[in-house]
């Protein structure tokens, strides 16, 4: 028994000094957050059925443990402060009071802790539950958090609209989990203090490697072969004349003999590049290392500075940076809408006028909504009164669709407009493939990353009214239009 007695003796001063508001609050915070945490772990073990969400982690792995530790820190601080005060006023007792539940002083202390724990438990528990339920909802990303609005809107219209944000933004494994937590916390702080960048930047290096994300679903060696692409474009003339571009893209892949071909077949090896900007739009050097260990470096011959900057190993996202957050060009957006039938190509000059309206500068989506509608209405009322009076439903539908096209791509409040986010597939609107394949990235031995027009695709028709190849393929009547 002597052991127990000495423990009791050592405990006495702790309990004596601990009987102060600060330490009691600390004790209550610690026990309350511990209870909520244990409750959450129990729920997790038995499964809550919902999707995993980084913000659940934010609360349960950062906030609650934070409160727990805060409570633990408050206890000794309260003790030290009370001890100092008692020493200063010479009130330290000769012997510390015995631990005795009959003692009203101890009883009061314990009652306070129990009561405060209960209140804290209710507050902390309710706040955590409500916070998680709220952040779990689509509304959190889409509507409440205006910072994410452009990415959310583009996401909803993408082929990945049923893939959870976390599937791409939070990789598997402990390291990426912690990294996502740290990033998430940083972003929450930025939003709270309104210091986040507008537009939100998308540095590729901040994302998880494709191996942990895209390749969980897509097999990188899948052989895709040749891909036929038909692009329909409308003219700026009265008839909105249709032209078509037809190309066969050499997508390639890896065959059963490990032979690599085409766009997907190459770039699977270790390609490391250096860019001068975080978005990797200006690439000054790329080193291709093949499986047999040989490597070739291609350097931009027009670059006179040192070869340093942002280094990155190429993966899916260097080309498919817009696999999900697809921001269109104004031309592509209106062409796509017109292929879909609205704005209807029978309306004179609707392509030209529509482009002007969606490309004008507005202060908000609300203002754009009004001005685009009134602008198109004015145009037909003054220029084509006949069309305006007989085809009003078509004009109204066209205006409505133009507003939708604008709202899908332009977000004045986030400083996101046409072309803010580059798309790295292709080379017509952004540097894309030509960041490396521009014909001026040259190796020491004089080998050039070619920009030969036949390297990546066969161009079967470029902006032709009636491409023969579509007739040959019996596709001339496809694509909704005759």
Please, which of residues 221-280 interact with ligand HEC by CB under 6 A?
A: 224, 227, 229, 231, 245, 247, 249-251, 262-264, 266-267, 271, 273
Site for ligand HEC contains 62 (CB under 6 A): no
Nearer to ligand HEC, 245 or 476 (CB): 245
151 counts as binding ligand HEC under rule CB under 6 A: yes
| Candidate residues 67, 75, 113, 323; the one interacting with ligand HEC per rule CB under 6 A | 323
Residues 115-144, interacting with ligand HEC (CB under 6 A): 141
Phi and psi at residue 295, in whole multiples of 5°? Answer: -135, 150
Q: Which of 254, 274, 283, 347 binds ligand HEC (CB under 6 A)?
A: 283
Instruction: Give the residue, chosen from 58, 170, 180, 288, that forms a contact with ligand HEC under the rule CB under 6 A.
Output: 288
Question: Considering the complex, what minimum distance in angstroms separates the CB of residue 27 from ligand HEC?
Answer: 39
Q: Is 334 in the site for ligand HEC (CB under 6 A)?
A: no
- Does residue number 328 form part of the binding site for ligand HEC (CB under 6 A)? no
> Least CB distance from residue 342 to ligand HEC, whole Å?
21
Which residue do the tokens 């085409």 mark? 262
Query: Which CB sits closer to ligand HEC, 54 or 131?
Result: 54
Alpha helices in 164-279 (DSSP H): 165-169, 174-192, 214-217, 262-265
CA distance 411 to 438: 32
User: For ligand HEC, which is the closer residue by CB, 65 or 278?
Assistant: 278
Phi, psi for 426 (deg, rounded to 5): 90, -160
Instruction: Give the angle subtended at the CA of 119 by the CAs of 113 and 122, to the nearest 5°.
Output: 135
First-to-last C-alpha distance (Å) of the chain: 98
Comparison of 332 and 387: residue with beta carbon closer to ligand HEC: 332
Smallest CA-to-CA distance from 273 within 292, 252, 299, 255 is with 299
Considering the complex, state which of residue 167 and residue 353 has its C-beta at the smaller distance from ligand HEC. 167
User: CA 398 to CA 387: how far, in whole Å?
Assistant: 13
317 binds ligand HEC (CB under 6 A): yes
CB of 382 to ligand HEC, least distance (A): 33
Question: Contact at 8 Å (CB) between 110 and 54?
Answer: no
Is 325 near ligand HEC (CB under 6 A)? yes
The SS3 of residue 458 is strand
Tokens 């007739």 found at? 471
Residue 149 in the binding site for ligand HEC (CB under 6 A)? no
Q: By CB under 6 A, is residue 293 in contact with ligand HEC?
A: no
Helix (H, G, I), strand (E, B) or coil at 242: strand
Give the separation between CA 153 and CA 143, rounded to whole angstroms.
Answer: 10
Is 304 exposed, middle or buried, given 0-12, 13-18 or 19+ CB atoms closer than 10 A? exposed
SS3 at position 245? strand
Residues 195-214 that bind ligand HEC (CB under 6 A): 200, 202, 204, 206-207, 210, 213-214
Among 216, 226, 255, 340, binds ligand HEC (CB under 6 A): 216
If binding is defined by CB under 6 A, does position 438 make contact with ligand HEC? no
Q: Is-contact 216 166, C-beta < 8 A?
A: no
Interface with ligand HEC (CB under 6 A), residue from 122, 428, 465, 468 = 428
* Count of residues of this chain found to bind ligand HEC when the rule CB under 6 A is applied: 76
CB of 132: closest distance to ligand HEC in angstroms?
17
């Amino acid at each position: 028994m002597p052991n127990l007695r000495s423990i009791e003796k050592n405990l006495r001063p702790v309990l004596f000094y601990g009987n102060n508001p600060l330490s009691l609050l600390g004790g209550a915070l610690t026990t309350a957050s511990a209870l909520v945490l244990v409750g959450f772990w129990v729920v997790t073990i038995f499964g809550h059925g919902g999707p995993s969400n980084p913000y659940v982690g934010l609360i349960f792995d950062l906030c609650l443990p934070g409160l727990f530790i805060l409570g633990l820190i408050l206890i000794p601080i309260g003790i030290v402060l009370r001890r100092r005060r008692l020493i200063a006023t010479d009130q330290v007792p000769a012997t510390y009071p015995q631990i005795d539940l009959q003692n009203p002083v101890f009883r009061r202390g314990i009652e306070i802790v129990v009561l405060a724990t209960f209140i804290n438990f209710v507050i902390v528990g309710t706040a955590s539950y409500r916070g998680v339920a709220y952040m779990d909802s689509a509304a959190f990303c889409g509507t409440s958090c205006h910072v994410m609005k452009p990415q959310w809107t583009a996401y909803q219209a993408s082929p990945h609209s049923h893939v959870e944000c976390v599937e791409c933004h939070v990789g598997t494994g402990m390291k990426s989990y912690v990294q996502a937590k740290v990033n998430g916390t940083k972003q929450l702080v930025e939003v709270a203090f309104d210091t986040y960048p507008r537009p939100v930047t998308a540095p590729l290096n901040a994302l998880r490697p494709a191996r942990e994300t895209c390749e969980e679903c897509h097999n990188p060696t899948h052989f895709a072969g040749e891909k036929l692409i038909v692009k329909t474009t409308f003219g700026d003339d009265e008839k909105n004349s249709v032209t078509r571009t037809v190309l066969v893209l050499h997508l390639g892949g890896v065959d059963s003999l490990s032979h690599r071909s085409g766009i997907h077949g190459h770039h699977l090896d270790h390609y490391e590049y250096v860019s001068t900007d975080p978005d990797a739009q200006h690439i000054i050097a790329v080193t291709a290392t093949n499986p047999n260990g040989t490597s070739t470096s291609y350097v931009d011959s027009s670059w006179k500075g040192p070869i340093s900057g942002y280094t990155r190993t190429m993966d899916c996202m260097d080309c498919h940076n817009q696999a999900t957050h697809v921001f269109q060009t104004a031309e592509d957006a209106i062409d796509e809408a017109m292929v879909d039938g609205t704005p209807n190509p029978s309306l004179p000059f609707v392509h030209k006028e529509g482009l002007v309206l969606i490309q004008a500068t507005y202060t908000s989506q609300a203002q754009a909504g009004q001005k685009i509608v009134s602008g198109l209405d004015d145009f037909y009322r003054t220029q084509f009164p006949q069309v305006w009076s007989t085809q009003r439903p078509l004009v109204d539908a066209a205006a409505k669709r133009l507003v939708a096209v604008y709202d899908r791509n332009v977000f004045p409040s986030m400083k996101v407009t046409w072309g803010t986010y580059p798309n790295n597939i292709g080379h017509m609107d952004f540097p894309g493939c030509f960041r490396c394949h521009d014909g001026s990235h040259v190796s020491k031995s004089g080998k050039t990353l070619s920009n030969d027009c036949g390297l990546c695709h066969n161009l079967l028709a470029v902006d032709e009214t009636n491409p023969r190849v579509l007739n040959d393929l019996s596709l001339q009547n496809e694509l909704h239009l005759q």
